[in-house]
Structures are given as C-alpha cells and as structure tokens.
C-alpha cells in the first residue's frame, strides 16, 4: 500500500521513530506517527478457464463405441477425436463413459 505526502505528493516511507513507527517524507519535513496496524490486501480476480473440449455441450451429439471404462468397467463409451498437436501427429481420442452414474473421462 502506498501512502502519499499531503504536502508535496511524494511517496511516504516507514521509519522507526523514538517510540513508534511513522510515515516520513524524504523531500519535506512531513511526519505522521503510526498509531494502529495498517494493512491492506487486494486479491486479483482470477480469469475464467475455458473448457478446451467445449464443455458439456461438446458431448451432446457424439457417437459411442465399444470401449471399456477404466473406472467402472462399463463396455460402451462416447468418443470424439481432436487434433491437439501438430498436423503430422495423430489425433487424440477422448472418451466419456456411457454409464450415467460414472461419466468418467479419459483419453487415448
């Protein structure tokens, strides 16, 4: 937190006085004793993260195939293929378990 001098407008520094800490100006004789704890916290607003796969709407119109879920051993899974790396690399296949109670997601 920056506090400015009311006389000249420069930034005040904190220095140790005779009995307490105080704000002091480097360019003029302004001094203000600190009588209480001075704190201020400001938390930055976090950016919202976009779902790379398009969120839940991306799984609405996909096909299913015979693929065993590694979590619940259900034998069918929805799948979609997306190019995640350069064009000369193979596409990445993403799966979502067809079992409504499971819904586990994995990739191949």
Interval 39-51: pLDDT, tens: 778 888 888 766 6
Q: Kindly state whether residue 68 falls inside one of the protein's structural domains.
A: yes
Interval 78-99: pLDDT, tens: 998 888 888 888 988 999 999 9
Please indicate if the annotation marks 20 as binding a ligand.
no
CATH code at position 79: 2.20.25.10
Q: Are 60 and 87 part of one and the same domain?
A: yes
Q: Are 69 and 97 part of one and the same domain?
A: yes
Please indicate if the annotation marks 25 as binding a ligand.
yes
Whether pTM > 0.95 for this model: the answer is: no
Decide if 22 contacts 14 (C-beta within 8 A): yes
Please indicate if the annotation marks 98 as binding a ligand.
no
Residue 52 has pLDDT above 90, yes or no: no
- What is the β-pairing status of strands 31-33 and 21-24? antiparallel
Across 6-52, where does the E strand assignment appear?
A: 13-16, 21-24, 31-33
Please indicate if the annotation marks 28 as binding a ligand.
yes
Phi, then psi, of 98 in degrees rounded to 5: -75, -15
Number of domains composing the chain: 2
Q: Kindly state whether residue 48 falls inside one of the protein's structural domains.
A: no
């Amino acid at each position: 937190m920056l506090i400015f001098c009311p006389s000249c407008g420069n930034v005040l520094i904190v220095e140790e006085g005779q009995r307490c800490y105080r704000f002091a100006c480097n360019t003029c004789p302004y001094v203000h004793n600190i009588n209480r704890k001075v704190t201020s916290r400001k938390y930055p607003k976090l950016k919202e993260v976009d779902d790379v796969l398009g969120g839940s709407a991306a799984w609405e119109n996909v096909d299913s195939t015979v693929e065993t879920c590694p979590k619940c051993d259900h034998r069918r899974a929805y799948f979609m293929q997306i190019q995640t790396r350069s064009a000369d690399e193979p596409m990445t296949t993403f799966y979502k378990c067809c079992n409504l109670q499971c819904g586990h997601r994995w990739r191949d």
